[in-house]
């Protein structure tokens, strides 16, 4: 089997496991909330299938932290998988789980993940985004 066909088969297999749905949002300046505070604004970028699969460098112990607001949050390295056909996000985009597959954790809906890195590599079967959970 050639590398190209192996990668193509890997993409099909990876996407078959993306049974959850995520709404994507890109940063779009700021807005004022109901309490008069200036907060980030976001523009909808549609939705995409995906899955959450937390991976860290040292097993179950998160070793990389990112400060969001005034809170240090653990980075889920490669934590959000989306298809290569989805729009390539940038750092700062957010994804909200809007629906889950039959085998997914029922606690996933409405969880929001902020992209902190968009790794790229050769022979990729899925886009694996480094994210932090923000809600």
- Of 60 and 117, more confident: 117
What 3-state DSSP class applies to 124?
A: coil
pLDDT tens-place string over residues 75-98: 898 999 999 999 999 999 999 999
Identify the CATH class of 3-133.
mainly beta
When pLDDT is averaged across residues 101-117 and rounded to a whole number, the result is 95
Strands 20-32 and 65-68 come out as unpaired
Domain ranges within the chain, ordered by starting residue: 3-133
Residue 104: beta bridge partners? none
pTM: 0.87
């Amino acid at each position: 089997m050639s590398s190209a066909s192996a990668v193509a088969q890997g993409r099909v297999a990876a996407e078959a496991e993306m049974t959850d749905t995520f709404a994507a949002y890109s940063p779009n300046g700021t807005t004022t909330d109901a309490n008069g505070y200036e907060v980030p604004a976001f523009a909808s970028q549609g939705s995409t299938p995906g899955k959450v699969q937390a991976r860290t460098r040292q097993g179950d112990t998160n070793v990389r932290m990112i400060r969001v607001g005034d809170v240090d949050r653990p980075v889920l390295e490669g934590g959000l998988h989306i298809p290569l056909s989805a729009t390539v996000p940038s750092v700062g985009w957010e994804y909200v789980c809007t629906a889950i597959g039959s085998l997914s954790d029922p606690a996933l809906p409405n969880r929001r993940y902020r992209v902190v890195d968009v790794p790229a590599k050769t022979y990729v079967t899925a886009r694996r985004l480094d994210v932090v959970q923000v809600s």
